Chain A
């Protein structure tokens, strides 16, 4: 099979480029799966906002006064207090990059005005304007001061220490929260979802690069003429090219899903894992037929540009890099004309699936069918393009 062998000689020459995409992909997925260590949710956990706390009211006290200490202890329990240097630029940087989402600063004279229960006492806060986390911390701080003020107004003789202790004790009373799980999966498939969504990017890039690398060589007019006068029939030649494409695509597919088993082991050994693999397989078919189409149109100088435009474009629109729920409706409508969109949609559905009823599985099956549809439609288009170009050249 000379053509088939030549196919892999060309691929071998392009291995460095292919490894770059593979390397970037693996690095990203390892990085992201570490970032997204989701905690299992069997009981309700209260959100803790990262905040910074500064006290300017230190004059006349040794460090923080009892009142400030009490407030700070309370905040330490209900938020995540982050220490930052009290420099304007450092604070601004921390807020911009969300290292803290809320900054509270107690003004000079806070303690004495607090103990007089002054109504116009004000703490300076800096937060992302209109953000949910800011509203939450507002609620927490106001609650503390209002409770303390009730004590101060009704029992004016209470000592600051007693007050802090009592307010904190009162605020320990919490509401009973029941966590109702309606059959939604709470396991750790989230990392696998990220992995498989990102797979769309590298698989697509590798397939376009590999398939085009070969086809560009074989579409060279001189080589084509030489091949046509060889004693290999056109049918056999096309079959070998087809076989080469299939083997190359399958190998890429197997390597990529192989890594998912290495990285996520146990989380893949279930029905979710099987569905991920099946979904990735149909996506491979769609990506391969699109790569084949591109390889029949692109030239050597334009191929890297086309690869980047197609892969980055489809991945951004389809919610590979930014989750689909954050994308606008128009973007998603445009994206639904690419197989990547359906691939990502199926992955997200598989990831949250716990009940493998016929209804649920057939929903995912539908998404896969769309991808197969893309594969077939693009192949047909490619066939006509090849046929047309053959006619015009002869």
Chain B
């Protein structure tokens, strides 16, 4: 009996072209678009040498300390200190470079060094901070000499004595790259799209919703057994589509999911079950036409994905901080968070917590669906 029902459900699901599009092709398409749109996004944060211009006048040539300092931070062969890309030029050319965004700002030395920029920004702030450094040391020198004029020699000796006091430590194994989270929410959405399959199975087993349901109810097989067989067929198909989507994202788009394949697959399986049972529950609970049910399912899935950060990545963090409960009862967020925990944390505590929340969802939704469906009679349809 099992193999008979199972095989026919399998065929029925695979031949539903709309279903295959939404569960398989749509996530793949969205992943491709995400990849095109976000591939340069993390580069926007990366530091690139700041192009600046310096007006080459007499005052600049005389200020040897500034010249040394500039030379120090624009050394070609020292990538650590190499901050600026310097053009020495005239006032007119510098204006022109600034106007056409070829430099972030230009420096001119009058009595002190001054800066001309076009807008406020991080690069401009860095140039300013660098010049501050230079201008401030003369204030410090003056202050020290005021306190103890005999220290002139000591000060001169100390001038070159500047150090770096910061040590980079990384608390995590992977880079905090925000773009990966978009792909995690995408997988979460693909998991919840399993809801379409879950709903299809519910429609196919109820006599008042489809002719297949009427036929199935005539057969002398326990209804819940049939539903169980149906849902396992749906699980097989949906889990396979998820694997295909995952494989596409990992091997074609080369998005980093970490290297714990076993854990990732387990999370996908739980996500798939969550999606299926969610769809089954919506299908059983609502007495509406199939179109309305699909609309509701789509709307709910999209909203859940939105709050998990699919359209705007900070959303996930905002929700977690403002209303932690909302983060825990949102299956899309729990799935996303599971991938995030695998990628970013060293321990598995959070991952297993997410997994057990998903297991709780599945159990709850299945029980509810069972309570709704059991002992239902279709006297006249």
Interface residues of A (CB under 8 A from B): 16-17, 20, 28, 41, 44-47, 49, 88-89, 91-99, 104, 119, 121-136, 138-143, 145-147, 149-151, 153-155, 166, 169-171, 173-182, 184, 301-302, 305, 308-309, 312-313, 316-317, 321-322, 326-328, 331
Contact = CB atoms under 8 A, between A and B. Distances in A.
Contact of B151 (A44, A126, A149, A155): A155
B132 A143 contact: yes
Interface string B238-274: 0000000000000000000000000000000000000
Nearest to A175: B131
Given A126-B168, A154-B155, 15 more contacts: A97-B178, A99-B317, A104-B166, A122-B166, A124-B167, A129-B175, A149-B161, A169-B143, A175-B112, A175-B128, A178-B115, A180-B98, A305-B25, A313-B33, A326-B37
B117 A179 contact: yes
Contacts of A312: 29-30, 33
Nearest to A135: B47
Interface residues of chain B: helix, strand, loop or mixed (majority): helix
Contacts of A130: 46-47
A93 B320 contact: yes
B140 A151 contact: yes
B317 A143 contact: no
Interface residues of B, number: 87
A126 B169 contact: yes
Contact of B114 (A173, A178, A179, A327): A178
B162 interface: yes
B326 interface: no
Interface in B253-306: 295, 299
B139 A170 contact: yes
Interface of B: 17-18, 21-22, 25-26, 29-30, 33-34, 36-41, 44-48, 83, 95, 98-99, 112-126, 128-133, 135-137, 139-140, 143-144, 147-148, 151, 154-155, 158, 161-172, 175-176, 178, 181, 295, 299, 311, 313-314, 316-317, 320, 340, 344-345, 350
A36 to B, nearest CB: 12
A131 B43 CA distance: 9
A309 B29 contact: yes
Given A98-B314, A317-B36, A47 B121 contact: yes
Contact of A175 (B135, B317, B344): B135
Contact of B171 (A126, A141, A170, A313): A126
Contacts of A136: 122, 125-126, 129
